[in-house]
Structure 1
Amino acid sequence: MTDDPRQNPATRHPQPDLPAQDQPHPGWTGPMDPPPDHGEESYRGSGRLTDRKAVITGGDSGIGRAVALAYAREGADVLFTHLREEEDEARETTRLVEEAGRKAVAVSCDIREEANCRALIERAVAEFGRIDVLVNNAAYQMSQPDGIEAISTEQFDRVMRTNLYGMFWLSKFALPHIPEGGSVINTTSVQAYKPSPHLLDYATTKGAIVTFTQGLAQMLAPRGIRVNAVAPGPVWTPLIPATLPDTVEFGKQSPLGRPAQPAELAPAYVYLASQEASYVTAEIVNVTGGTPLP
C-alpha cells in the first residue's frame, strides 16, 4: 500500500479478475493470491491507544490480524483468539504485535461454547487486569447457492452460535472488567442491509449484530462505555476462498470495483476505540467501497 494521498482508490489494490482459488475452511493466508495486505508495510501508529488492553476474536488473519497490528502500533496490548487449526496464522499475528513492542496473547478458543467465552475473559483479565476494548470480530459463513433447502440445521446452528452467541457471551462476561471510557466494537457487514441469497443465514446474523450494537450502546451509555460496529463490504481474507464458490469476480460488485484489503478496515476500528470517537456510540461505520447503506 502506498501512502500517496492522490492515488485512485479504485486501483490502489488488486482488482478482479482475481485468480480462481479454493481452500478448505477456515482458510489460510499463505496460499492466497494475491496475498492480503494487513498493513504490515503501511500502518503507522500515533499513540492513540497507548497502554490500552484489547481483546479481539478472530485475530489470527484477515480483518482481525489487521486490527491487532494497528492496535499494537497505536500502543495497545492485544489478546486474540484463533481456532486450533490456525496456530501458524496466530504465530504471525503474535510476531506483528510483538514487533510493535506490545504484549501479544494468542488463545485457541471456540466461541460457540459459553464456558470457552467465560474462560477467555478470565484469561484476559489475568493477563491485563482489565479490558479497555472488546472487538467481536470472529464469524463463520458458508455459501449455499442452492437456497434455504441446502442450509442444514448444523450449518445454521454453527453460524448463529459463532456470530451471535459468542458476541453475546463475551460482551456479557467482559462488561464487569471494562472501565469507564472503554468500548465494544462489533463486526457486522454490508450483508446486514443488502443480503446475498446464498448467504442467508450469515446475513441474518449480521442484521442482528446491528440491532445488538445499537441496543447495547444505549444500555451502557450511562456507564461511560461506548458500543459501535464496523460494516465491511467485500474484504479479501482467507474466509473468501474457504467459503465462496467463485473468487474470480469477488468484490467487483462494489462501486470501487474491487474488494477491500484488511488494512483498509483497521483504521475504522482504531477510530472507534480511541478518544477521538468519545461522542460516537450506537453507530455503524460502513466501509463498503461505495455501496450505499442506511
Structure 2
Amino acid sequence: MSKTLPADFHMHTHHSGDSDAPMEMMIEKALQKSLSSICITEHMDMDYPVTEDIPEGTYDLDTESYMSEIRVFQDKYAGLINIGFGVELGLQPQIVFQNEQYVKKYPFDFVIGSNHLCHGKDPYYSDYYENRSEKEAFTEFFESTLENIQLFDDFDVLGHLDYIVRYAPSLNRNYNYKTYSDLIDEILKTLIDKGKGLDVNSKSLYSEPSLGDTNPSRDVLLRFHELGGEILTFGSDAHKPEHVALGFDTAVELVKSCGFKYYTTFSQRDPKYIKL
C-alpha cells in the first residue's frame, strides 16, 4: 500500500438500497487505511423500475435519516477524518425536474451523477442485452449518458462512465474507447464545458472477475486529459467496509500515467485540488 491513499469519494452504507454496511464501520475502515477524507454517497435513483427482486422505493433514499446519522459521525470523528455528505444521483430524462429540486433541498458536499438506467433498463441485469449485440447495448448506454448530462448538470462528477462493461456478457473483452470515441468524446467535452469531472471508480479492479482497469478505462481518462479535463475524484464504490479504498494504489498509478498531477475533493460543492 502506498504511504498516502487519496480520499475515497464514492461509498455506500445501509442507507443505500443495495448495502447493509453500518456507517461507522465504513468510517473506521477508512481510518485504518489512514484516509484523511471520505465522502459517503448514498444511492438516490428516483423512478427505478419495480421488479420481483426490487420492491418499489428500493433506491429512494431517506435523506433525512441519512443526514441525521452522518451529522452524528461528523461530530464524533471531527479532527480524525473529514466525512462528506454526498449522494449518488441516478440520472434519467423524465426525472430532471425532480433531481433538480432534490439537489437544491439538501446541503450536499458532493454529488455524483450516474447513468444506471437506459430507457428503464439497468445494464446490471441480463435482460438489457437480450436480442441485440453488445455493441448495440454499449452504444445505447453511451447515448443515454450523453442525453442525461445534456439535460441535467447539477452534479460534480459523472459516476463510473463505462459502468456497463462490469456486467456485459463478455465484460470488457469486446470494449475499447476507439469503437465508441465519437460518443465518449462528446460526453467528455460536455463534462468539461460544464465544469464537471469524472469518478475514477476502482470497483472493477477488485470485483470478481477483475477487469484489470478502472471505470472509466485508462484510454478514456487519457482522452479526458488530452481534452483539458481536470476534475477527478477517486471512488471505491464500496458497499462493505473491506472494499473502502480498495484498488486505489493501482488507480493512482493509472491516473498518473495519463498525465494527471492532481485529484479533487469537494466540500459544500467546492472543489479542492490535491497533488497526487
TM-score (norm: length of structure 1): 0.40
Whose strand fraction is larger, Structure 1's or Structure 2's?
2
